[in-house]
Structure 1
Amino acid sequence: MCAAACNALSSVLQRRAARAASPDKDFSARLFLSLVRQPVWIAAIGVLIVAFLLQAAALGLAGLTLVQPILVIELPFTLFIVRLMFKVRLRAREWTAILSLTGGLALLLVATGAETGIESPDRAGWVAAALTTVLLVAALVAASRLGADGRRAALLGVASGLCFAFTAALMKDSVDVLSASPAAVLRTWQVYAMVAAGIAALYLLQNALHHGTLVVVQPSLTVTDPVASIGFGVALFGDTIRLGLWAVPELAGIALLFFGSLRLSQSPYVTYDGITRPSR
């Protein structure tokens, strides 16, 4: 939950910085060069590093299927942070969204009954996971180039969420290696792949934030990450979740998450980044 709160704060700060960048810097190194000159963006990355460390600590204690879904709480945290930073007032619509998201998360966690696996991914598993992730991300990026800004931001948010989920899987394996042999961790390929995947995720996120409002990007990112992470946890680490009749409350929990995201997408307050006043 602390990692989710830090991610929310970082997203708000990144949004403010990214919207100030020139539109002609889309998908170029100039976008990053513009951002690194902004103290707000530097602060956002600092908070993101803290979130990364907190997430790694959590993954050292439990599996992806338990830790990553909790990050969904990032979205309500985002709303509260915007409220505190920019003095906006929450209405019934926002409170409904918060209750839906938190209730959906609780229902999903209880229904899945996630248990951490004891398997270590083999090379074939990593190759399959990497190829699947790369192909999906490439397809999402290609599709985003064909749509308007809102659709582009949403698709890039999903692509970023997939990359963050894959980064978390690599982080989990790296933390397991660190626990077993601290001296060996820097000699494992997972650490360097984790850094590369994290940079790719951050790059996609900057472009998503550059093209759309926070509320368009945040739900797609926040929901995609834990759902994909559950898949990685089951496929790579042998995590277990309950199926059968339990699929009904699990789907209900996911539906509540999407409903809460939809309600937030209708809020004029979450889109406020301190640059343009929200309409009422």
Structure 2
Amino acid sequence: MISIVLALCAAVSNAVASNLQRIAARTVPESKAFRLALILDLIRRPVWLGGIVALIAGFAFQAAALSTGPLALVQPVLATELPFTMVLLSLMFKMRLEGRIWLAVATMSVGLALFLFSASPSTGREPPSTKVWILAAIVTVAVVIGLCLLARLIEGDGRAALLGVATGIGFAFTAAFMKQSTSILAEGVATLATSWQPYAMVAAGLCSLFLLQNTLQSGTLVAAQPALTISDPVASILYGTMMFGESVRTGPWIILEAIGIGSIFFGSFLLAKSPQVRAQLLAQTKPKQRS
């Protein structure tokens, strides 16, 4: 139960971070995409720095949650970041959410609850071996690079969605390193400092953060956020079951799990298609065309 509460706190913090960072990122000209100049421009903006503080808080809550619960449980709970993002969006821009949006939020919430109840993720038995980590890293890097190259070929919301998936996978892989690091920390700070996993976690996190900024700068939030929010828990379940030996219910339970996942996707679809949210985002966060 404590891991779920901590994961919800992480979701709220990440929702705050997404909104603040997007406000800043959408004011940066498109010419700075995929360049260090993007970060150098953003770091001078207080709103973006506030988003980073919220992101760090989310990171801390997530680490605490992973230290008490399985990866396949904690990361799916973080999918509530999307409903929280939309609610915070309404508060920040003083907009009244239409019934369709509340339906989407309710659908996602019920879907998540149904999935967690039916899957009932359990803690893994053994930590991954170095060989498993290397194989996972090769596959992850190949998939992320492939998505980024494909994203470069298109523009607008399509690019934002593809980069959102790549970013979600990156953060899921970062969470896997975080899960392992919290276990190593139990053996002592000295052991953690001399292990490679926390440094790999930092590297993966920084790369994912860079991808996130390009995701937010590439298109609307309603295109980027659903892709990011859904790909993270799905990838995390795969990492948890294939790397950490975590398990989810099978048999007839798969039907309920599929309905739960389907509800999350449907809720994301409703949010992405909301004319109200699209109009508000275009009006409030239209990117400047300065150089």
Using the size of structure 2 for normalisation, the TM-score is 0.93
CA gap 1:89/1:105 in 2 versus in 1, 3 angstroms: same
Question: 2:38 aligned to 12, 24, 31, which one?
Answer: 31
* Residue identity in the other structure for 1:155: L
Which ranges in structure 2 are unaligned for 5 or more consecutive residues?
Answer: 1-7, 286-291
Shift of 1:270: 3.7
> Which residue in 1 is equivalent to 2:60?
53
CA contact (8 A) 2:170 2:204 kept: yes
Q: Tell me what 2:9 maps to.
A: 2
1:124 and 2:131 are equivalent in the alignment:
yes
Aligned to 1:244, the other structure's residue is in SS state coil
1:275 Cα deviation from its structure 2 partner: 7.2
3-state secondary structure, aligned to 1:60:
helix
1:123-142 deviation digits (Å, cap 9, x = unpaired): 11101111110011011011
Partner of 1:201: 208
Deviation readout 1:87-132 (Å, 9 max, x if unpaired):
1111110011011100110111011111111211101110111111
Instruction: Tell me which of 246, 251, 275 is aligned to 2:258.
Output: 251
Deviation string 1:19-77 (CA, Å, 9 cap, x unpaired) is: 00011101000000000010000110011000000000000001101111000100110
- Secondary structure at the aligned position of 1:121 is classed as coil
Flag as ranges the 4+ runs of structure 1 deviating above 4 A.
Answer: 271-275
The separation in 1 between residues aligned to 2:240 and 2:214, in whole angstroms, is 28
- For residues 99 and 120 of structure 1, the distance between their equivalents in structure 2, rounded to whole angstroms, comes to 36
Give the match for residue 234 of structure 1: 241
Same amino acid, percent of matched pairs: 48
- Matching of residues 165-176 of structure 1 within 5 Å: 165-176=172-183
CA shift in 2, pair 1:204/1:222, >3 Å: same
> Could you say which residue in structure 2 is the equivalent of 1:107?
114
Alignment partner, residue 18 of structure 1:
25
- Cα contact 1:15–1:273 (8 A) shared by 2: no
Partner Cα distance (1:71, 1:214) in 2: 17
- Once the two structures are TM-superposed, the CA of residue 272 in structure 1 deviates from its matched residue by 6.7
1:262 aligns with 2:269: yes
Amino acid at match of 2:69: A
TM-score by length of 1: 0.96
